[in-house]
Amino acid sequence: RAFRDPHRPRFHFTSPGGWLNDPNGLSHWDGVYHLFYQYNPLAPAHHRIHWGHATSTDLVTWTDEPVALVPGTTGPDRDGCWSGVLVDDGGVPTLVYSGRHGERELPCVATGSPDLRHWTKDPANPVIAAPPEGVDVTAYRDHCVWKEGDVWRQLVGSGIRGQGGTAFLYESQDLRHWRYVGPLLTGDASHGTAADLDWTGTMWECVDLFRVDGTDVLAFSAWDEGATHHPLYWTGRYEGDRFEPSALHRLDYGQNYFYAPQSTRDAHGRRIVFGWLQEGRGEEATARAGWSGVMSLPRLVTPGPDGALAQAPVPELARLRRDHVHVGPFEGDADLDAIRGDQLDLETTLRLAPGATVRLGVRETPDGAERTVVEITRDPAGTSGTLRLHREASSLDPDVDTAPRHGDLPFGPDGTVELRVLVDHSALEVFANGRALAARVYPTRPDEATGVSLTTTGRATVARLDAWHMAPIETAPRPLWP
């Protein structure tokens, strides 16, 4: 791994080199977590996508495994093996993925060796020959596959031109022959515009249907004309061949910086989701770095108190914590000179009076010329507030994306905010009262941009602030090719 690049994360998973995007085939198989991912080992560019593969027994450290899927020299996936899932077909690990040929993607199947290292593509690929007849689709790819009784069901992400994003439902006895059932749900792209943070797009990438306790969730990434917008999810009821939505939610306030999430249920019954943290620096800088794309930390998803999902990094990550510093309680600004670094886990309990604001600065240079600020505001009425990420001063490099991000923050009557900020070089993940915001930041003086600060406006109390350095994860290398 090109660790000399100061922007390369050290406790997030990154590929050995080249390009990484979506998480794929997430599973907990015989006690081992498998993370496959969209991968171009040859260059940090989205081209002729393979499936990379890594394993973990603890969701913290990862072992690189041989590349799982390589695009064919002929056949339906000659231009790429795009996103998909892993299912257990009576003990046979089976991948369902999108084979790309030309501008078109179609569902393909591959079966694996018991250790999930060697994969054989089905000669019958593609297993669905074309999108549903008579439907004018904007695109057609990515899969969610599960079993109900004896019957396999599959969703393929798509969009109906003139209407909106959709998920087509199919059924099969054998994962090879599929019967089209109909659209599970179709969005309305005429509702809102691309500038709206909850616009559902003209196509749904990486559809994911799952249940958290009693709530059914249909997650997808809103896409339009080649642009990756943001991940959203519907809560509602999946019954028969339909999904009855009750509410639409934003999955991550970082928008395109947490894209194409996929989830799995592990052996402990937990719903765990990973997403792709894409780059925010210029193409030239990315090409020079030789790598692109970060996998998010694994997130635990649970039902939140307000009907939305609550997200938090899996507790296992606490194992990386070192050099604990505790401060608080205090009111107003704080001297946080004892805390500095570019691999940090910051956890704080704040109490804001109505109208108050707390700003937690990270990646600050001593002269303040570069800094990234996590801002929590409680509205004057007290019932709600905003989580904001100010990146405007995060980098002086004009080629870096420094646009801010924000989203609604639920507040309880006592004004408490549980805030957690994970800083890993260019990767940043923020969790506030269960809401998540991921982004990337690239200070031009990364070695100096290690400061942390806390300032308040209005009446705000820091009940406690705990900080740790995060140890780098050792990613054990293995031969890349089977």
Calpha distance 77→480 (Å, rounded): 20
Please report, as a single letter, which amino acid is at residue 374.
Answer: V
Token duo for residue 425: 């070089």
Distance CA 370, CA 426 (A): 13
Range 254-283, binding ligand DQQ (CB under 6 A): 259-260
| Min CB(249)–ligand DQQ separation in Å | 19
* 251 contributes a contact to ligand DQQ by CB under 6 A: no
As measured in angstroms, the least distance from the Cβ of 355 to ligand DQQ is: 40
Should residue 230 be labelled a site residue for ligand DQQ when binding is judged by CB under 6 A? no
Total residues binding ligand DQQ (CB under 6 A): 14
- Examine residue 21 and tell whether it contacts ligand DQQ (CB under 6 A): yes
Q: Which is nearer to ligand DQQ, 94 or 221 (CB)?
A: 221
Window 346 to 385, contacts with ligand DQQ (CB under 6 A)? none
CB nearer ligand DQQ, residue 82 or residue 291: 82
Examine residue 206 and tell whether it contacts ligand DQQ (CB under 6 A).
yes
Shortest distance in whole angstroms from residue 416 CB to ligand DQQ: 36
Residues 6+ away with beta carbon under 8 Å from 422: 297, 313, 344, 345, 346, 428, 429, 430, 470
Beta strands in 90-178 (DSSP E): 92-101, 104-112, 119-121, 137-148, 151-160, 164-172
Query: What part of residues 48-77 is at the interface with ligand DQQ (CB under 6 A)?
Result: 49
Catalytically active residues are 22
**Side-chain-facing half-sphere of 266: CA atoms under 13 Å:** 21
Using CB under 6 A, pick the residue from 82, 140, 204, 257 that binds ligand DQQ: 82
CA 305, 346, 435 angle in degrees (round to 5)? Answer: 25
Among 7, 28, 48, 141, binds ligand DQQ (CB under 6 A): 141
Q: Are 470 and 297 in contact (CB under 8 A)?
A: no
Report if residue 166 touches ligand DQQ, rule: CB under 6 A.
no
Question: Is residue 167 a contact point for ligand DQQ (CB under 6 A)?
Answer: no
Which residue number, 49 or 441, has a Cβ lying nearer to ligand DQQ? 49
Q: How far is the CB of 228 from ligand DQQ (least distance, A)?
A: 6
Q: Identify any residues that bridge with 210 across adjacent strands, giving them in sequence order.
A: 217
- One of 38, 56, 154, 296 touching ligand DQQ (CB under 6 A): 38
Q: For ligand DQQ, which residue of 64, 205, 224, 375 counts as binding (CB under 6 A)?
A: 205
Question: How far is residue 23's CA from residue 21's CA, in Å, rounded to a whole number?
Answer: 7
Task: Work out which of 56, 94, 98, 311 binds ligand DQQ, going by CB under 6 A.
Answer: 98
- Identify residue 467 by its one-letter amino acid code: A
Helix, strand, coil content of the chain in percent (nearest 5): 5, 55, 40
Q: Which residue number, 21 or 94, has a Cβ lying nearer to ligand DQQ?
A: 21
Are the CB atoms for 60 and 320 separated by under 8 Å?
Answer: yes
- Cβ proximity of 139 and 164 under 8 Å: no
Which residues of this chain interact with ligand DQQ, rule CB under 6 A?
21-22, 38, 49, 82-83, 98, 141-142, 205-206, 228, 259-260
